[in-house]
Amino acid sequence: MTVLWTRDAAVEATQGKPIGPDWSATGVTIDSRKIAAGDLFVALPGERVDGHDYVAAALKAGAAAALVSRIPEGLDDAPLLVVEDVLAGLEDLARAARARSRARIVAVTGSVGKTGTKEMLAACLAVYGKTVASVGNLNNHIGAPLSLARLPQDCDFAVFELGMNHADEIRPLTRLVAPHATIITNVEPVHIEFFDGIDGIADAKAEILEGLQPGGVAVLNADNGSFERIRARARVLGVDRIATFGQGATCDVRGIAIEPGSDGTRVTAAVAGTDMTWTVGGIGEHWGFNSLGVVAVLHALKLDLAACLDRLATVSAMRGRGGQITLGTADGGSALLIDESYNASPPAVRAALSVFANTPASRRILVLGDMRELGATAPAAHAGLKDAVEAARPDAIYLCGDAMAHLRDALGRDRVTEWTETADALAAAVAANVKDGDVVLIKGSLAMGMKAIVSAVEAAGSPAPRLQAGGR
């Protein structure tokens, strides 16, 4: 495997003090449970656990060394790199990795659609050279530097997802990543509990432009209500290259037709005036629209689109983010589970409901949990889902969480099969009602623990081995 960090390079990057024998690392991790042989274990302190307590276990599991701020008891001769602050040390590694890299780097943010956009970009860029992307949802003040510290020196391209739920969170991350291209998928009232309004969210997303390298390109969603505000901010920052995507006539990448199907989404678009078509593996209009932004990035980087657009068909939704799984049912048949248990916001719920509504089924079973971080807008936001729920024509509706009581009341209590305060309390009832031919959509914010319902539905029947694409 490729060596990411020698001891000498890590010492130079962090100005730390090496202890014990020489070492080299082929990976970097912060989770001692996921150690691979040759990893550098970063012993971050946390609110509930301290990584220093797991250094011995990490080394026993095959870690090459550990980044620490103190020497754990009994490890005086172990391969350690001692720094004053472990998180700062991780950031130093990230900064050094970026400085030595020759890769062309893309940074992605937005209220919804970040992860799917990142995955589509990575799949396409891999056609042109060695490409890496941040794993899963590693997009915060820990995840972004961790992803960057994992950047191999010989990469040609890298894609990093940057997230936030407060102002001033993306700014230090984008300056660390220093991208050559940025894309803001959209600005929506997500995390609005922590902002005065949508303009504050737009300004926080626009922080990603502050790390853009000279001559770099900002790719913006021209259909979004915050487009003009973000474009104006880009100009203030001296960003000369702005590329646009959307369905408006003046977009650099203009969507002409987006047609979701049972196994993907077909897109027809005009790219700088030339009509092109492609298929995205993800199901839903939102997947097709987000692919317009991906193509806008690739075009702005002056890459040959004909060589890579077929790779979009290989990207579909992951478990928890709309992945579709065929499961056995207790009556001996099979049902389709749309697993959206990872997170929820008003636009994401509407997108998932659209996919749900267009999925053939004998019955549609809808399970929704609270959308968090909506602040004073939460009652209206939950009740406001009424039209989208009714348009999906569910045969059974299960709701959980205090905020979902507002949707229950908007729909009418007789229309709702069952409402409970928690996901755990709802799990058995949902699982018992899943029959042959059903499609089940389960969606809610991560803090609601919707995974408990997913697990109950999966356990109710023997799983069948088919994984499909899905929603956001």
Give the CA count within 13 Å in the CB-facing half-sphere of 22.
3
Range 29-46 average pLDDT: 96
What is the SS3 assignment for 143? helix
> For residue 472, is pLDDT > 50?
no
Q: Looking at the chain, how many residues does it have? A: 472
Question: What percent of the chain is predicted at pLDDT more than 70?
Answer: 98
pLDDT band at 463 (very low <50, low <70, confident <90, very high): very low
Span 101-314 CATH architecture? 3-Layer(aba) Sandwich (3.40)
Range 159-183 average pLDDT: 97
Residue 137 pLDDT: 78
Residue corresponding to tokens 């636009």: 347
Nearest to 161 by CA among 135, 188, 130: 135
246 versus 165: which is more confidently predicted?
246
> For residue 468, is pLDDT > 70?
no
Both tokens of 34, joined, read 């996921």
R_g over Cα of the chain: 23
Residue 462 pLDDT: 57
**Alpha helices per DSSP H over 269-385:** 285-300, 346-357, 378-383
Residue 469 pLDDT: 41
What is the SS3 assignment for 149? helix
Round to whole Å and give the CA distance between 342 and 65.
33
For the entire predicted model, the pTM comes to 0.93
Range 407-422 average pLDDT: 98
Nearest to 337 by CA among 193, 197, 450, 423: 450
Contact 365, 430 (CB under 8 A): yes
Give 226-235 contacts, CB < 8 A, sequence gap 24+. Answer: 226/187, 226/198, 226/199, 226/201, 226/202, 229/199, 229/202, 229/203, 230/184, 230/187, 230/202, 230/205, 230/206, 233/203, 233/206, 233/209, 234/206, 234/209
Give 222-229 contacts, CB < 8 A, sequence gap 24+. Answer: 222/246, 222/248, 222/250, 222/251, 223/247, 223/248, 224/186, 224/187, 225/187, 225/198, 226/187, 226/198, 226/199, 226/201, 226/202, 229/199, 229/202, 229/203
Q: What is the mean pLDDT of the chain?
A: 95
pLDDT, tens digit, for every residue of 358-370? Answer: 999 999 999 999 9
Both tokens of 52, joined, read 């220093």
178 backbone dihedrals φ, ψ, rounded to 5°: 50, 65
Residue 138 pLDDT: 84
Residue ranges per structural domain of the chain: 5-85, 101-314, 323-468
The sign of the dihedral angle between the CA atoms of 302, 117, 136, 261 is negative
> For residue 464, is pLDDT > 60?
no
pLDDT band at 7 (very low <50, low <70, confident <90, very high): very high
pLDDT band at 232 (very low <50, low <70, confident <90, very high): very high
Span 5-85 CATH architecture? 3-Layer(aba) Sandwich (3.40)
93 sits in which H/E element: helix 86-100
What is the SS3 assignment for 190? coil
391 backbone dihedrals φ, ψ, rounded to 5°: -65, -25
Q: What is the largest CA-CA distance in the chain?
A: 69
**Helices 451-460 & 423-433 angle (0-180, nearest 10):** 30
Residue 452 pLDDT: 97
Residue 28 pLDDT: 98
pLDDT, tens digit, for every residue of 417-440? Answer: 999 999 999 999 999 999 999 999
114 sits in which H/E element: helix 114-125
pLDDT band at 471 (very low <50, low <70, confident <90, very high): very low
Range 107-124 average pLDDT: 97
pLDDT, tens digit, for every residue of 43-102? Answer: 999 888 999 999 999 999 999 999 999 999 999 999 999 999 999 999 999 999 999 999
> For residue 467, is pLDDT > 60?
no
Q: How are beta strands 181-184 and 217-221 bridged, if at all?
A: parallel
Nearest to 69 by CA among 38, 91, 45: 45
Secondary structure letter of residue 439 according to DSSP: E
Residue 47 pLDDT: 83
Round to whole Å and give the CA distance between 284 and 14.
45
Range 342-358 average pLDDT: 96
**Helices 227-236 & 198-206 angle (0-180, nearest 10):** 40
Round to whole Å and give the CA distance between 352 and 349.
5
pLDDT band at 262 (very low <50, low <70, confident <90, very high): confident
Tell the CATH topology of 323-468: Protein-Tyrosine Phosphatase; Chain A (3.90.190)
Give the CA count within 13 Å in the CB-facing half-sphere of 185.
29
Question: What percent of the chain is predicted at pLDDT more than 90?
Answer: 94
